Structure 1
Amino acid sequence: MEKHKVHVNGIDMVYEECGQENEKTIILIHGFCGSSHYWHNVCPLLTEHYRVIMPQLRGHGETSVPDNIYTMEALADDINGLVEKLGIEKTVLFGHSLGGYVTLAFADKYPDKLSGFGLIHSTALPDTEEMKRKRYQDIAFIQKEGIEPYVHELIPKLFKESKRQDMPDEVEKVKEAGLKMSAKGAIHTLEGMMMRPDRSAMLHEACYPILLVAGADDEVVSPDDTFSVNEQETPKTTYEYPHIQENTFEGVAHMSLFEAPEQLARVIANYLRTLGEKEPVRAL
């Protein structure tokens, strides 16, 4: 994998890539307190047919940490800056958790630049009042205690308990990515996540296939939240929309990128093959 740095949207953004430049480009966006490292187990499984770009969002990894609220729209603007810098006319985005919120903001602002997108352990729904209260508590905790104890408490909860025991090295790698964040970057990201709107209408209105992946044991973003599509204030499931490919991973929590990378790569590859088909096939 190659690491690069570009100046976009007023920041220095670091990204990694693998695959061949002459292949179709897909972009994999990591989650909160993560980095491009989140996708290292998945990326090599997709390089035969795709050029894979893995950016590090502002405030994360080695990318700049500006002192303002990181709205999902601002993060989407950063991704757009990267897309333009690399001369990519059209792409497919896959966003994990926070990365899914950014993906939706990008799809909202730059629809002509997408052929499709996937939400991995994410949701189009906004924060509930309870979730906002929890984010305020997290901000207060980070301000008082710092980023290190916050990361040590947060990361294990992302994995299924049995997986934490089976893959301690992977859990530690995820912690290491989180510990590279500054308190300022984490706080500004939490502030931005609270501000995101309800974008669930984008799912049922999309003119191309959409991929949704949930972990059956995910305690961060439940499958119900991943698969919920709201229309005129009446919740509906994705089964009423045949262009939405719904996948639930059994025995997986919030981190299929580490807990089941081969399964996730297969589902992503299957989804990518459906793009352009008149009748999208639901991934198995």
Structure 2
Amino acid sequence: MKFKELGQPEHPVVILLHGGGLSWWSVEGAARLLTDEYRVVMPIIDGHGEDGGTDFLSIKDSAEKLIRFIDRACGGRVFALCGLSLGGQIAAEALAERRDIADFAVLESVLVQPGHDRGRTVPEPLIRLSYGLMRFRFFAKLQAKALSLPDELFEPYFRDTQKLTLNTLIHILKSNGDFHIPASLKETGSRVLILAGSGESAEMKLSAGLLKKAIPGSRLIISKGMRHGELSIAHCGEYVRLLRQWFSELPDEEGGSST
């Protein structure tokens, strides 16, 4: 796991974790809007972009690497820990492993499996087929559209998809599709904001509700018309507005759901 940073080193630390198949450049827009007040850290998850040489193994492994970085470079605690999709799952795992790791947390479009259900498993032959198609621009453009990437982010996206190994892709899809809410997440000391889009799948909106139920005092916001990842990637100004609002609210104002 590698790390990019923006902002002044003495400012409170906000960590922005990108989604699967993306990299730090997908959160750079939001990061730049936060640098007036915060030191923004953008991890590059194993197997992605500039860290393509290190295969992604699991959500738990990535969370442990993130915690080690926070211990080493941030004094063991950060102001806010935010993540999208796979990055949000890693953030949730870190919150569960270390209850006092962040004052605030934002979990966007995080897929979780209910109860003890086994997750939806993508057949490996289909993963291998998708991996081959990723090398073609036409397929990458379809994927970029599904990820709500603005046109200006297509080239870095296409460039970085070429660095994903088959092993990384298999582990990402299996980890993402079989993620359960860690039992100790309910004990987190962070104030947690959960985000999803009304244009996302029913499964994703169900996941957001399960997270809201599992984390005492958390708030759920369903953004009207937004698809998977669209809020933080394509509408980073609105995303940052929600973050700043959450950071400034008093504890007795939290909880509930809104759209």
CA 1:200 to 1:256, structure 2 compared with 1: closer, same or farther past 3 Å? farther
Q: State whether structure 2 residue 225 is matched by structure 1 residue 247.
A: no
2:206 equivalent in structure 1: 224
Task: Note the C-alpha offset of 1:141.
Answer: 2.0
Opposite residue 239 of structure 2, the aligned amino acid is L
Counterpart of 2:222, as a letter, is T
Matches within 5 A, 1:201-240: 202-203=185-186, 205-219=187-201, 222-229=204-211, 238=213
User: Matches of 1:264 and 1:220 in 2, distance apart?
Assistant: 22
- Counterpart pick for 2:60 among 73, 78, 85: 73
Structure 1's 37 and 138: CA in aligned 2 closer, same or farther, altered over 3 A? farther
Quick one: which of 117, 121, 132 aligns to 2:109?
Answer: 121
Q: Does 1:273 align with 2:252?
A: no
* Cα displacement string for residues 246-284 of structure 1 (whole angstroms, at most 9, x for unaligned residues): 21222221122232111100111111223xx44144688
Match of 2:120 among 131, 154, 161: 131
Q: Which runs of 5+ in 1 are unaligned?
A: 1-12, 230-236
Q: Residue 120 of structure 2: SS of its match in structure 1?
A: helix
What TM-score does the superposition give when structure 2 sets the normalisation length? 0.82
1:188 to 165, 171, 191: 171
Q: Which amino acid aligns with 1:90?
A: R
Match of 2:233 among 258, 261, 268: 258
Higher RCO, 1 or 2 (CA under 8 Å, sep at least 6)? 2
Give the TM-score normalised by structure 1: 0.76
Partner of 1:234: none
Give the SS at the match of 2:39.
Answer: strand
SS of residue matched to 2:69? helix
Contact 2:192/2:217, CA 8 A, preserved across alignment: yes
Task: Please state whether the residue corresponding to 2:47 is helix, strand or coil.
Answer: coil
1:155 to 141, 144, 148: 144
8 Å CA contact retained: 1:208, 1:243: no
Letter in 2 for 1:225: S
Q: Does 2:66 match 1:84? A: no
Q: Deviations over 1:114-146 (max 9, x none)?
A: 2231111113436965721x3645423246x26
Whether the 8 Å contact between 2:63 and 2:94 is mirrored in structure 1 is yes
- Structure with bigger strand share is 1
User: How many residues are matched?
Assistant: 252
Residues 25 and 226 (structure 1 numbering): CA distance in 2 closer, same or farther, change over 3 Å?
same
State yes or no: 1:48 paired with 2:30.
Answer: no
Alignment partners' CA distance in 2, 1:94 and 1:225: 17
Using the TM superposition, give the Cα deviation of residue 101 of structure 1 relative to its aligned residue in structure 2, in angstroms: 0.8
8 Å CA contact 2:102–2:190 kept in 1: the answer is no
Q: Give the alignment partner of residue 39 of structure 1, picking from 15, 27, 37.
A: 27
Unaligned runs of 5+ in 2: none
Q: What's the offset of the Cα at 1:47?
A: 1.4
Q: Distance in 1 between matches of 2:67 and 2:61?
A: 10
Report the RMSD for the aligned CA atoms in angstroms. 3.0
Share of identical aligned residues, percent?
19
Alpha carbons 1:95, 1:103 under 8 Å: kept: yes
Residue pair 1:19, 1:47 contacting (<8 A) in 2 also: yes
Deviation at 1:66, TM superposition (A): 3.7
Offset, 1:220: 8.7
Mean CA deviation greater in 36-45 or 255-264: 255-264
Q: Distance in 2 between matches of 1:212 and 1:189?
A: 22
| Alpha-carbon contact 2:119-2:177 (below 8 Å) kept | no
AA at the equivalent of 1:158: L
Measured against aligned partners, the alpha-carbon deviations of 1:63-105 in whole angstroms (never above 9, x if no partner) come to: 15345x6111100111122212314321121010000110111
Rounded Cα–Cα distance in structure 2 between residues aligned with 1:39 and 1:81: 21
- Is the partner of 1:88 in helix, strand or coil? coil
